[in-house]
Amino acid sequence: MTTAGWRWRSFPVFFAFVCGAFVMGLLNGVTNLVGAVFFYLALFGVAFGVAHMVVRWLAERRMRRQPTPAPPPSEAGQAAERRRLPEGAPRRR
């Protein structure tokens, strides 16, 4: 039996783990040194994850607001736009 192709070492999995650790730290309270270290590490992980999501959202928003660049003109379009010289006129270089 195989898994559904889920990438287990990815941001959503680690963020869910850190959120669970943070909630567990809140429920247990900071009564001893080990609990305090665990809680602050989980708090750091949650802050990092939220910052990651906010920066990604801002970057996507900025990309949507930028105007799309015009496609480069094709050879056929460039040939049609060139000025045509009258018959027998010398070409300048």
Q: Are 38 and 25 in contact (CB under 8 A)?
A: yes
Task: Write the pLDDT tens digit of every residue in 46-90.
Answer: 999 999 999 999 999 888 887 777 766 666 555 555 566 666 667
Structure tokens at 11: 């941001």
Q: Is residue 5 assigned to a domain?
A: no
Domain-located, residue 30 = yes
- The structure's pTM equals 0.59
The verdict on residue 63 lying in a domain is yes
Mean pLDDT over each residue of the chain, to the nearest integer: 79
Its domain, for residue 47, covers 11-67
Q: How far apart are CA 38 and CA 22, in angstroms?
A: 8
Q: How many domains does the chain have?
A: 1
22, burial (CB in 10 Å: exposed 0-12, middle 13-18, buried 19+): buried
Q: How far, in Å, are 15, 45, 64 from residue 39 at the CA level?
A: 15, 10, 38
